[in-house]
């Protein structure tokens, strides 16, 4: 999924992201605005994930919305 699609579906994905990663606040998700790099940084910050683990987690989330 390219960046434009992630940004376009962000409003739908935001709820699932918060359910999946409960430590992310509404403010965090507003800052992300569909930007995978910012989301990865937030996951690293809040969950202590490596960059690769955060990117994999985001890819897994995007797969749910690929349709």
Kindly state the tokens that stand for 34: 């569909």
Higher pLDDT, 5 or 47: 47
Nearest to 32 by CA among 58, 63, 1, 64: 58
CA distance 15 to 23: 13
Walk me through the domains of the chain, giving residue ranges and CATH numbers: 3-64 (1.10.1470.10)
> Coil, strand or helix: which one is 4?
helix
pLDDT in tens, 8-51: 788 888 999 999 999 999 999 999 988 999 999 999 999 999 99
């Amino acid at each position: 999924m390219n960046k434009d699609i992630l940004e376009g579906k962000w409003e739908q994905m935001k709820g699932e992201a918060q359910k999946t990663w409960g430590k992310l606040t509404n403010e965090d998700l507003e800052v992300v605005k569909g930007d995978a790099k910012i989301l990865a940084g937030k996951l690293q910050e809040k969950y202590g994930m490596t960059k690769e683990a955060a990117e994999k987690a985001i890819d897994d989330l995007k797969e749910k919305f690929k349709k």
